[in-house]
Amino acid sequence: MEWNGIYDRRLAIGGVLVATLMVGCGGGDINIAPQTADNSVDNSVTENAPTVTVNPCASYENSGGTELIGEFDGTNCTYNELFSDGGANPIEVDLLIPELDDGGAHIFQGSLFVGRNYSTDAGLTAAGIAAGGDGPTLSIEAGSILAFTSAEDFIAINRGSQIRAIGTAEKPIILTSQKDLDGEATAEEVQLWGGVVINGFAITNKCSYTGTRGSTTLTGECHVVSEGSEGENTTHYGGNSDTDSSGRLEYVITKHTGYEVATDNELNAITFAGVGSSTVVKNVQVYSSYDDGYEFFGGSVDVENYIAMFVRDDSIDMDEGYNGTITNALVIQSQYDGNRCIEADGIGSFTGKTQAFIDDIVARELNSRPTVTNLTCIVSPNGVKDPADADNLNKQGTHDPGAGWRLREGIYPKISNSLVISSFGPQVDSDNWCIRADTSQTAKADGSSLVDPVAGAIEAGTEAYIKDSVFACETQSSKNMGGVAAATYLATAAGGSNVFATVSGAVDATADLDTDLVLVEGTTPIKSLDFAEMIVDGTALTARDALTYVGGIRSAGTDWTSGWAIGLDAQLWFDATE
């Protein structure tokens, strides 16, 4: 059809609308034309002129020269399996997903893989990929909504590729499921789609290196199989560039994730696999995930302003030499579901390693050395799942019991200014502890134990410490740490300036009801108090080390959760207001 010099040629192939809008200019591998203006034609100029609607969906030109574009129904854009369907059909050119008008969503009927996966150095070299940015980039505009129709579908950013999902507080980016889009998903429903896997070229101690971290050389090749890998959807991560960039995530919310791809292979809300420090992750929320919230496999990516709500396994999981920083984080487990706030391991596949191997990894600083500052954990007092226990069946999590921080396997953590609360119980069993550090698996660089052999608690020092933190659990530390002695050691002998509340049964730690234990404000959204406003065992705390507040969100100044995070404006299960 020709009208007013504009040609509109559309061809439907297998449900994918293939369109080319010709205006006298050439092609290129991307043709995105999001429309916000009125597309109707001025009929005063031409009688009986038709209304022309330009398709605003994302599009790209494949290797065969065919332009693929989503099908627009007037509100949403739908992309079938020909557009992208995992590793068999990845996106290999830059792709922009635009914000749609009127709350429209981009609905994917297959997985969205960006960049091709390579499992050998030869393959990477032939493709010209050595660092993030060499491959294609997935760009997602602020305010965009992406929904997946199948539980097994997920987003994968392969090595060399990048994701640039940059929302704003006013227009966060939502990654969710078709069921949620239809308004049929419950708040804590999970496994409605997979999640996000980001693979980079940063260091993982599952590969071999010479030299100390910061000055290493790979020994052999480094291609570690990533989470969610199965068949054609297998992806790899790892390399020798801790400064690698996998892009930017800002004001992004993932919802209802965690599909189990295969036995013991469950997707997390977001998996950071060998992701480097030039990647930006700030103001990102995980909401309802079956497996972990964030899981770090090696790498050095830093995280700022992280929210994890209703994560059923670990809200923060670290392994394989992760050495990034997490600054400002709020973890809120479901009332009767959720495992650990932090599960942190120092060396991948630790139990199969010799002591000589472990000592060498630690000496060369290739073990996990995370820094966590200002973290609030509201821990679920749920117990071990036991279908035979009918009395407590509704208080049993889908994974292990709710707990605080588990630190093990040669890790050197630096944790400060943080808060762990599991006093809203009563606890179901003694596994609802605040902290556990496995004594036989952690050592200091001088060869002495990082964990006190009698008390079993982490010392405060320059390489690893827990300090200036507050704990309120009925079981403060696990039995592997020496029980009450461990809490005493952490609070005093280690010089860590930590505070442990005496808790028995259910105790309200908000400012609403209990005057003996006040750790967080009792109004929504949940906020941390200034140190001077906190009360433990009936006594007001005093500031230390020029510290004004503890936990993920301060009560004064700017609240970084305000205006964009979901679920924090409702009354939560632990907010027992009268």
Residue 498 pLDDT: 80
CB atoms within 10 A of CB 326: 27
Question: Distance of alpha carbon 218 from its chain centroid, rounded?
Answer: 28
Place of tokens 């808790």: 503
pLDDT tens digits along 143-199: 999 999 999 999 999 999 999 999 999 999 999 999 999 999 999 999 999 999 999
Termini Cα distance of the chain: 68
Separation between Cα atoms, residue 224 and residue 271, nearest integer Å: 14
Separate counts of helices (H) and strands (E) for the chain: 4, 41
Separation between Cα atoms, residue 128 and residue 474, nearest integer Å: 56
Cβ neighbours of residue 492 under 8 Å, at least 6 residues apart? none
At residue 125 the predicted structure's pLDDT band, cuts being 50, 70 and 90, is very high
CA angle 460, 518, 527 (to 5 degrees): 85
Nearest to 281 by CA among 397, 412, 169, 164: 164
Nearest to 24 by CA among 42, 39, 43, 2: 2
pLDDT tens digits along 302-336: 999 999 999 999 999 999 999 999 999 999 999 88
pLDDT tens digits along 512-548: 667 888 888 776 667 777 777 888 888 888 765 555 6
pLDDT tens digits along 205-223: 999 999 999 999 999 999 9
| Whole-number Cα distances in Å, 317 to 292, 456, 465, 480 | 7, 22, 18, 20
2 pLDDT above the threshold of 50: no
Residue 322 pLDDT: 98
Q: What is the mean pLDDT of the chain?
A: 81
Cα radius of gyration (the chain): 25
CA angle 244, 147, 36 (to 5 degrees): 90
Give the number of residues written for the chain: 578
pLDDT tens digits along 330-359: 999 998 889 999 999 999 888 888 888 988
pLDDT, average across residues 462-480: 76
Angular region, 440: left φ>0, alpha ψ -120 to 50, beta rest: alpha
Nearest to 179 by CA among 249, 117, 255, 114: 255
| Whole-number Cα distances in Å, 21 to 2, 260, 497 | 12, 42, 66
140 pLDDT above the threshold of 60: yes
pTM for this predicted structure: 0.86
